[in-house]
């Protein structure tokens, strides 16, 4: 009987100890959440993303107090992978940090897979009704290849996707070869194994306004 009583007492003490440890850890976690600043949250998220993709271009789009978890932060990040390739990948990720750790909701805007360029945004076919649909250099670069614009596809096929780098710049007014273009993206695709670049001008809806090679512009 005495042994049974000692055993029960021992179990009760053990349970109490476990509860105390759990409460201590839980309180510590709550304090950790409550003490973290938005700058710390942003820094930790970016550090984690950079650890997996050191060359990615990462931008913070928005940060505000979490609506679901007091002391946590809703943070939206935009990440561009392979931003100088013919088809950069663009994603946004929504974090509730540190409440849900590095779990996030991801939206894909463009990506390159199985030798195909995918752009997941809509375009208007009526140029006059378009208002800043393409707002990122990466999307401007990817759009003509996504639309299989024949001269560009031929250039890529001739010199190889992996050998080509690209860059894009937006112009309110662009004067080139005695022509004037308004509200356009000027895109330069350059193959390292070619002696010329392929140049494209597209409007904000992704429609090609004109195209050149670097050795025939004035």
- Are 66 and 90 in a shared domain? yes
- Strands (E) across 121-207 are located at 164-176, 179-191, 197-203
pLDDT tens for residues 132-191? 479 999 999 999 999 999 999 999 999 999 999 999 999 999 999 889 999 999 999 999
Asked if residue 183 has a cis previous peptide bond (ω within 30° of 0), the answer is no
Both 8 and 42 in one domain: the answer is no
Q: Residue 80: inside a domain, yes or no?
A: yes
pLDDT at position 9, please?
38
Q: Is residue 139 domain-shared with residue 178, that is, in the same domain?
A: yes
Contact 110, 91 (CB under 8 A): no
206: domain CATH number is 3.10.450
Is this prediction's pTM over 0.85?
no
Instruction: Give me the domain span that covers residue 189.
Output: 128-213
Together in a domain, 99 and 146: no
58 versus 21: the higher-pLDDT residue is 58
Which residues pair with residue 170 across a beta bridge? 185
Q: Model confidence at 34, in pLDDT bands (50, 70, 90)?
A: low
Q: Give domain status of residue 168, yes or no.
A: yes
* Dist. CA 165–CA 134, nearest whole Å: 20
In a domain, 123, yes or no: no
Taking residues 21-50, report their average pLDDT: 70
pLDDT higher than threshold 70 for residue 10 = no
pLDDT mean over 191-209: 94
| Res 123: pLDDT | 58
Percent of the chain predicted with pLDDT > 70? 78
Confidence of residue 119 (pLDDT cuts 50, 70, 90): very high
Residues 27 and 44 in one domain: no
Examine residue 52 and state whether it is found in any structural domain, yes or no: yes
Which residues have a Cβ under 8 Å from the Cβ of 106 and sit 6 or more positions away? 91, 92, 93, 94
Residue 172 lies in a domain: yes
Q: How much is the pLDDT for 133?
A: 78
Residue 51 domain-assigned (yes or no): yes
Residue 125, pLDDT > 90, answer no
Neighbours of 164 (CB within 10 A): 23
* Number of structural domains found in the chain: 3
- Tell me what pLDDT residue 156 has: 97
The predicted pLDDT at position 169 comes to 97
Instruction: Answer yes or no: do 66 and 26 share one domain.
Output: no
């Amino acid at each position: 009987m005495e042994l049974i009583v000692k055993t029960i007492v021992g179990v009760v003490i053990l349970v109490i100890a476990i509860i105390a440890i759990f409460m201590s850890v839980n309180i510590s976690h709550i304090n950790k959440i409550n003490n973290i600043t938005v700058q710390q949250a942003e820094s930790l998220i970016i550090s984690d993303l950079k650890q997996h993709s050191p060359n990615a271009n990462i931008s913070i789009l928005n940060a505000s107090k979490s609506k679901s978890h007091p002391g946590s932060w809703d943070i939206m990040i935009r990440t561009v992978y392979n931003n100088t390739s013919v088809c950069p990948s663009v994603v946004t990720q929504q974090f509730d940090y540190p409440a849900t750790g590095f779990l996030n909701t991801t939206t894909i805007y463009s990506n390159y897979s199985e030798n195909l360029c995918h752009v997941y945004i809509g375009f208007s076919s009526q140029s006059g009704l378009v208002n800043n649909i393409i707002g990122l250099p990466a999307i401007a670069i990817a759009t003509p290849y996504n639309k299989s614009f024949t001269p560009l596809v031929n250039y890529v096929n001739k010199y190889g996707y992996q050998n080509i780098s690209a860059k894009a710049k937006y112009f309110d007014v662009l004067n080139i070869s005695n022509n004037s273009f308004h509200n356009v993206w000027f895109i330069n695709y350059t193959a390292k194994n070619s002696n010329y670049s392929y140049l494209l001008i597209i409007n904000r809806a992704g429609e090609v306004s004109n195209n050149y090679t670097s050795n025939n512009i004035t």
